[in-house]
Amino acid sequence: MDIRDLTTEDLDDVLDLRKRSFGPLSADDREKWRKAVLPALGEGRYLGVFDGTRLAAAARLRRFTQWWHGKPQPMAGVAGVTVSPEDRGRGLGTRIMRAVIGRAVELGDAVSALYPATTAIYRGVGFEHAGAQHNVRLQAESLRGIRPSGQVKLRRMGPGDAAELMSVLHRVHGAARSSGPVSWDEDTWNVWLADEDDFLYLADDGYAIYRWKGDDIEVENLVAASPETLRALWSMVGSASTIAREVVASVAPDDPVLWLLPERTRERVQQVRWMFRVLDVAAAVERRGYPANAACEAVVTVDDPIRGGGTWRLDISGGSGTATPVEATGVTLSVNGFSALYAGIPTRTLRLAGLMSGHDGYDQALDAAFAAKPYMLDYF
């Protein structure tokens, strides 16, 4: 078995693997998929395991920006992990995952995330559960009752608006000190913004992407930096209530729209879990944002069988952090545990789960520094 970069000549075989793993795609979806993956081929972000000339497994690294406490950094999104049915149970999933971890590091990514079809294989290579995509089901009529509080100019978006949309995302997530949300790269946004079945609207400080899904409305993305834009966008979605009965929306766990609803008693929320992995401890700590008033000095040993691990002194203050290699004793975490800590999982949880051990004098400071409510709006 050999691992090599995929080329355009391999795409039919990759589509066959996808069909056998996830079910068939429509002709339109296959064409959209081809357009979306072409940049990944040229960037060395699509790998395959070959048995001779036969493709046995594949995985892709998506090029994302991800925010942690409002600070953006590059993130490798692992997607399309597929193993041919006749090759399952032979360790190819683990093998391709080790290869994409190595490639992500070569490409300069310090963190990575994925949506798991199963936990075991990804936990085995250092990923750990961190956050979720929160999909809430709302009555369309309740959104219609949200009235705009000012004059907000909304315009329709198209493929030429990708750069402006990305600029809006940077402003919104920075101001909200968001943790977990991602932005696609500009090439991919241009593909998504060309979908004729989506309704795409842009304001100066927010945007919305939604569509019909059967008799309901599905909101994929809706973000806003100001109360006026927030109300204008949600009111527009709610204007479909004369036809649609319900709206299914991907939202933050404390999304402000939930506080604009006239009634809240029982809410139907589906959590689609995602997993996270730190690839480079020093770079990941330096690239992350932190609460401005949090201060932490801690010695942390990270056990990472794939990347080697080590011991670092973490110095976090004023919203920034560094990790310096040291020879000392402090707390010990598996790479799974450190990845979860990075994503805001409390030290108490990590200790009880067996992901953290050793000196507990740093726990309160670590909790304050890495505090977060991680979520994503996008599934990949």
Dump strand ranges (E) for 2-127: 2-5, 46-51, 54-68, 71-83, 111-114
pTM: 0.95
pLDDT, averaged across the chain = 96
Whether residue 373 is predicted with pLDDT greater than 90 in this model: the reply is yes
Q: What percent of the chain has pLDDT over 70?
A: 100
Of the candidates 58, 30, 60, the one whose C-alpha atom is nearest the C-alpha of residue 42 is 60
For 104, phi and psi rounded to 5 degrees? Answer: -60, -40
| pLDDT value at residue 258 | 96
| pLDDT value at residue 68 | 98
What are the pLDDT digits (tens) for 94-110? 999 999 999 999 999 99
CA–CA separation, 70 and 61 (whole Å): 23
CA–CA separation, 208 and 246 (whole Å): 17
CA–CA separation, 371 and 366 (whole Å): 8
What are the pLDDT digits (tens) for 218-271? 999 999 999 999 999 999 999 999 999 999 999 999 999 999 999 999 889 999
State the average pLDDT over residues 90-97.
96
| pLDDT value at residue 313 | 98
Neighbours of 76 (CB within 10 A): 27
Domains and CATH numbers, the chain: 2-126 (3.40.630.30), 134-270 (3.40.630.30), 280-370 (3.30.1050.10)
| pLDDT value at residue 176 | 96
What are the pLDDT digits (tens) for 334-355? 999 999 999 999 999 999 999 9
pLDDT band for position 149 (cuts 50, 70, 90): confident
Element (H, E) at 324: strand 320-325
Query: For residue 190, what are the β-bridge partners?
Result: none
Please, what sign has the CA dihedral across residues 186, 192, 196, 197?
Answer: negative
3-class SS of residue 90: coil
State the average pLDDT over residues 177-201.
95
What are the pLDDT digits (tens) for 11-53? 999 999 999 999 999 998 999 899 999 999 999 999 999 999 9
Q: How far is CA 228 from CA 126, 132, 233, in A?
A: 42, 27, 9
Number of alpha carbons in the 13 Å side-chain half-sphere of residue 229: 18
| pLDDT value at residue 56 | 97
Do residues 126 and 280 make contact, with C-beta atoms less than 8 angstroms apart?
no
| pLDDT value at residue 143 | 94
| pLDDT value at residue 150 | 78
| pLDDT value at residue 180 | 98
| pLDDT value at residue 151 | 87
pLDDT band for position 85 (cuts 50, 70, 90): very high
Lowest mean pLDDT among 35-39, 149-153, 322-326, 331-335: 149-153
